[in-house]
Chains A and B, each alone.
Chain A
Amino acid sequence: MGIIELNDIYTAYEGGDKPVIRGLSLCVDPGEYVVIGGPNSAGKTTLLESINGLIKITHGSAMVCGLDLRRHGNAVRKKVGYVVQNFYFDPFTPFTVEEVVLMGRYGRLGLLKRPSKEDFEAASKAIQLVGIEDLAHKTIGTLSGGQQQKAMIAHNIAKEPEVMMLDEPFSNLDFHAREYLQGIFKQVVRSGTPILMVSHAFDGLPDIRIHLVVMNKGRIIYDRECDSKDVESIIRKECAVNEDARISH
């Protein structure tokens, strides 16, 4: 049984005239590295936010981490890591990187519980793993975009999630940082935690089998395993074919 099982789901935004995700089905197994590609506004971000219940599914069934998403959204979010695409922390945000990374543990702790030694250890391990020890005591809003992205990745690694979702995590990172983080993601996948990664940068993909999902207009148009070096060319081809199909109509 897959760790994510979406069956013919629909997702709509309040006030939107039609659903953004339309009849989408997807199954993700433990240890898979899923790359989600596709043109802008294909619905990639919306898909990720449907999987952790930030956006309500209006139709269809979804099981995530063995839980019915429509009934246990909050419990699912405790188990699913999510690095959001767009964030902005103003320079006066009164939190250090260390505190922000520790916050990754807060959801799982539940109400009224204080973080324990174990939580602090998980946070400092995540900071080391991502390689931002030197930033730990800096205020998060004063860092560069790429450094903030690393902090948010550490926040989610500290969470020790059962599924890790990342939405264009490389948009502000140089190629060195991309390759370094891809190495970490390879370890995460090896340990059995699947990764769902929305990205347009495929140069540093780890040399493992990739579960490639290509989206267009709220639907999945390609859903197969492939070699990491073929990811970019397949996405190009699928999107081009689809464009032709649209024009010929």
Chain B
Amino acid sequence: MLEFLIENNVVCRAVEAMVFASIACSILGVIISRMNLSSIGFTMSHAAFAGAAIGMYLETSAQIAAIFFSMAVAALIGPVSDKAKMAADATLGVLFAMSMAVAIFLISYLQNMGRGLSAGSLLFGNVVSLYREEIYALLLVSAITVIFVLAFYKEISSIMFNMKIAEASGIRVKVVYYILLFIIALSVSLTLNIVGGLLIFVLIVTPASIASQFCFNVKSMFMAAPLVAISVSAFGVWAGFKYTLPIPPLVALLLTGVFAISVILSFKRRINYKKY
């Protein structure tokens, strides 16, 4: 899609992948961090990781297995946590630990069988050898995310403000919440083999945290978070190819650096000492 800008096919696909993954993850990240759902994002990304390992073990598509497994976990999280009870946190912990156990179990097993090499990309990501279909899938999921936020903006913003007040005002909180969980599951499982299970969380949480340092308004957060994510990850891909550095961890470090700078520069921490 960006061939007209970037000549090298490999670099071009890497940029496209990172850009689309950034859009989906950072927009969801704005919702996730506002609603204190970080642990859900965390659990879901490891569920996708476990799903992918299952896919490899079964010698089917790792991505499709990741989608199925994380959807299943989303379906489990929903009923438990939609009431925001104490127990939700423990359930997430159990699901997270279970996912990691499944993933590590299968990856070690596959390694013992001499089939372990391909698991590396699940952990650390791989932006170098991407198929065209994977790019299209990422484009689709970032489009779904954008459409979800635009179409349900009323509902999403009310829920981000306050779940209980949203429900009292007659919004179908649960419906929106469940759709949100499934879109998170979908995005996470499609982004998994690009940035890797260990770093995917960076794309979700960090851009939203950077945006929240400067934005007082939810609309500007929805704009700023993807902009930051896109520019940092595109720069990361370029720098990674130029200096032969591993791209996903580079992007993660760059985002963390931007976050650190934004905390220091944040408007919100500035105190006005002027006397009137």
A78 within 8 A of B: yes
A112 within 8 A of B: yes
Contact A77 B154 (CB under 8 A): no
Q: Which residues of B contact A103 (CB under 8 A)?
A: 154, 157-158, 161, 165-166, 169
Contact B215 A94 (CB under 8 A): yes
Assuming the A-B contacts A96-B217, A99-B157, A106-B154, are A54 and B170 also in contact, with contact meaning beta carbons closer than 8 angstroms in the complex? no
Task: For A106, give its contact among B155, B164, B212 (CB under 8 Å).
Answer: B155
A39 within 8 A of B: no
Assuming the A-B contacts A94-B34, A111-B152, are A54 and B167 also in contact, with contact meaning beta carbons closer than 8 angstroms in the complex? yes
B115 within 8 A of A: no
Q: Mark B23-57, 1 if CB is under 8 A from A, else 0.
A: 00000000000100000000000000000000000
Kindly provide the distance from the CB of A35 to the nearest chain B CB, expressed in whole angstroms: 21
Interface centre among B165, B167, B168, B172 (most CB of A within 10 A): B168
Question: What band does the interface of chain B fall in when counting residues whose beta carbon is under 8 Å from A?
Answer: 20 to 34
Q: Which residues of B contact A152 (CB under 8 A)?
A: 165
Task: For A87, give its contact among B151, B155, B162 (CB under 8 Å).
Answer: B162
Closest A residue to B215 by beta carbon equals A94
Closest B residue to A82 by beta carbon equals B168
* Docked complex Cα distance between A140 and B4 (Å): 46
B221 within 8 A of A: yes
Contact B221 A84 (CB under 8 A): no
B254 within 8 A of A: no
Q: Which residues of A contact B170 (CB under 8 A)?
A: 74-75, 77-79, 106-108
Contact B218 A109 (CB under 8 A): no
B216 within 8 A of A: yes
* Docked complex Cα distance between A104 and B216 (Å): 20
Contact A111 B155 (CB under 8 A): yes
* Docked complex Cα distance between A199 and B9 (Å): 69
Q: Which residues of A contact B169 (CB under 8 A)?
A: 77-78, 103-104, 106-107, 155, 159
Kindly provide the distance from the CB of B87 to the nearest chain A CB, expressed in whole angstroms: 10
Assuming the A-B contacts A77-B168, A77-B170, are A95 and B157 also in contact, with contact meaning beta carbons closer than 8 angstroms in the complex? yes
Closest A residue to B164 by beta carbon equals A84
Task: For B151, give its contact among A84, A108, A112 (CB under 8 Å).
Answer: A112
Q: Which residues of A contact B83 (CB under 8 A)?
A: 14
* Docked complex Cα distance between A96 and B165 (Å): 15
Q: Which residues of B contact A87 (CB under 8 A)?
A: 162, 164-165
Interface centre among B34, B154, B162, B169 (most CB of A within 10 A): B169
Task: For B172, give its contact among A14, A74, A92, A139 (CB under 8 Å).
Answer: A74
A193 within 8 A of B: no
B171 within 8 A of A: yes
* Docked complex Cα distance between A107 and B155 (Å): 8
Closest B residue to A95 by beta carbon equals B161
* Docked complex Cα distance between A92 and B154 (Å): 19
* Docked complex Cα distance between A99 and B154 (Å): 10
Please report which residues of chain B, range 132-160, place their CB below 8 angstroms from some CB of chain A when the two chains form the complex: 151-152, 154-155, 157-158, 160
Assuming the A-B contacts A103-B161, A112-B151, are A92 and B268 also in contact, with contact meaning beta carbons closer than 8 angstroms in the complex? yes
* Docked complex Cα distance between A149 and B83 (Å): 24
Task: For A115, give its contact among B154, B165, B216 (CB under 8 Å).
Answer: B154
* Docked complex Cα distance between A99 and B156 (Å): 13
* Docked complex Cα distance between A124 and B83 (Å): 33
* Docked complex Cα distance between A109 and B154 (Å): 9
Q: Which residues of B contact A41 (CB under 8 A)?
A: none
Please report which residues of chain A, range 83-122, place their CB below 8 angstroms from some CB of chain B when the two chains form the complex: 84, 87, 89, 92-96, 99-100, 103-104, 106-109, 111-115
Closest B residue to A106 by beta carbon equals B154
Q: Which residues of B contact A159 (CB under 8 A)?
A: 169
Contact A94 B168 (CB under 8 A): no
**A–B complex contacts, Cβ < 8 Å, 10 sampled:** A14-B83, A95-B218, A100-B161, A103-B165, A106-B158, A106-B169, A107-B158, A113-B154, A114-B154, A159-B169
| Additional A-B contact list (6), CB under 8 Å, known A14-B83, A89-B162 | A54-B167, A54-B168, A87-B164, A103-B165, A104-B169, A109-B154
A interface residue numbers (CB < 8 A to B): 14, 52, 54, 74-75, 77-79, 82, 84, 87, 89, 92-96, 99-100, 103-104, 106-109, 111-115, 139, 152, 155, 159
Q: Across chains A and B, which 4 residue pairs bring their CB atoms closest together, nearest first?
A: A107-B170, A78-B170, A107-B169, A77-B170
